[in-house]
Copies of this chain bind each other. A is one copy, B any other.
């Protein structure tokens, strides 16, 4: 097996080659496809990506790299919590929308690949939850989201903003999503999200299924 001078840089480069191939073919690519298409030796492909999953994981890392940079930048900023939460969702949404608009079919293909290998995408979702948790804690320190635990607020905010984070929703309703609506949704959260019962469910609760 060849020794590889800078394996991280090589993996990144190979992931981008794999993505170019996905785009050209309109289908997922295997390690064998990557070797055949790039002329890279199979030994080198195996050294970079020991398991078949490792190649797709590297592609997912490249796909989400701009999102992670956005989340780090927003959370590291000195904005107040409401501004942070808006930027946290809006910047990633604008980027995803641009990616969708550039090639809806390719975007749909990546969604399908991600759904099929959800365990690989899961780590990114957990990282997004981690950053959102930070913003929620700051908001609660400012007095927002009273009478909710951080985890309750996290689950509710994820549900309420799901249209702006779900690739599947992007595929179905891209034309109905925009940053003006997202701003109203975040303003609504900061004005109204709280744990207290304010009467919508009535005094006699519906039985849960």
Contacts of A5 in B (CB 8 A): none
Task: Let me know if B179 and A187 touch, CB within 8 A.
Answer: no
Dominant secondary structure at the A interface: helix
Binary B-proximity of A64-86 (CB < 8 A = 1, otherwise 0):
00000000000000010011011
In this complex, what residue of B is CB-closest to A94? B209
Docked CA distance A95–B86 (Å): 34
Nearest CB of B to A203, in Å:
10
In the docked arrangement, what's the CA distance between A94 and B207, Å? Answer: 8
- Binary interface encoding of chain A residues 143-180 relative to chain B, with 1 for a CB under 8 A from any of its CBs, else 0: 00000100000011001101100101100100011111
With A168-B168, A181-B155 as given contacts, are A86 and B201 in contact (CB-CB < 8 Å)?
Answer: yes
- Chain B residue contacts of A82, Cβ below 8 A: 198-200
Q: How far apart sit A198 and B181, CA to CA, in the bound complex (Å)?
A: 13
Which of B91, B185, B202, B205 interacts with A206 by CB under 8 Å?
Answer: B91
Hey, which chain B residues are within 8 Å of A206, CB to CB? Answer: 87, 90-91, 94, 179
Which chain B residue shows the least CB distance to A198?
B187
Tell me the nearest residue of chain B to A98, going by C-beta. B209
Choose among B169, B187, B196 the residue that contacts A199 (Cβ–Cβ < 8 A).
B187
B197 touches A183 (CB 8 A): yes
**In the complex, what residues of B have CB within 8 A of residue A40's CB?**
none
